[in-house]
Homo-oligomer: A and B are copies of this chain.
Amino acid sequence: MRPRGRRPGDEDTRQRILAAGRRLFAEFGYERAGMRAIAAEADVDPALIAHYFGSKQGLLTEALRLPVEPAVVLAAVQRAPHDRMGEELVQTMVSTWELPQVREHFLGMLRTAASHDVARDVMQRTLHESVMVAVAGLVEDDPARRSALVMTQMAGLAFTRYFLQLPEVTSLTTDELVAAIGPTIQRYLTGAVD
């Protein structure tokens, strides 16, 4: 969807607007964060937001993209032995989530999504599309149910570890999480779930 013949500065400008949008959506909520304020924060002309993102909601959709591309997780899990897909999924996702910029991104996403129904719906659609596609690429039957179950467990891990920061959850290492939650994901992907 990117325009052809972009100048070298284009990607930098686009990223500045995206970062400014993320910050202001998270701080003030989707509705209260105005286009002018976002443009000022990014130090660009307000018309450039429409140029790069189409609309405020277009910017929101980009701002709420998952910090880990589902395709990357999918590829790692597909390389794993069939009976170790659950462990590999937990390992790959938690390893990425532990990066400080990813944790920040999560908090911003949640703040933004909690601020307004439009933002919540965009986050819902993003997760629905990306996780559904990724999980459907891994399983042989019932991808809707299996992806639902994977989402309940992994979203809850992210929520309690990075947002709520429950001490019992933050104190577990990645290896401990893989050992404890890996079998859950394995069953949700390949075991009996009804």
Interface residues of A (CB under 8 A from B): 29, 110-111, 113-115, 120, 123-124, 127-128, 132, 144-145, 147-149, 151-157, 159-161, 163-169, 171-172, 176, 179-181, 183-184, 187-188, 193-194
Could you list 5 further interchain pairs (A-B, Cβ under 8 angstroms) beyond the known A120-B165, A144-B168? A123-B164, A151-B169, A153-B153, A156-B159, A176-B194
7 A-B pairs with C-beta separation under 8 A: A120-B165, A128-B168, A145-B172, A147-B168, A148-B168, A148-B172, A152-B169
Work out how many copies of this chain go into the complex.
Answer: 2
Cβ–Cβ contact B114 & A166, under 8 A: no
The answer to whether B166 and A128 touch across the interface, beta carbons within 8 angstroms, is yes
Residues of B within 8 A of A123 (CB): 164
Residue contact A152 to B181, C-beta cutoff 8 Å = yes
Shortest CB–CB separation between residue A173 and chain B, in angstroms? 11
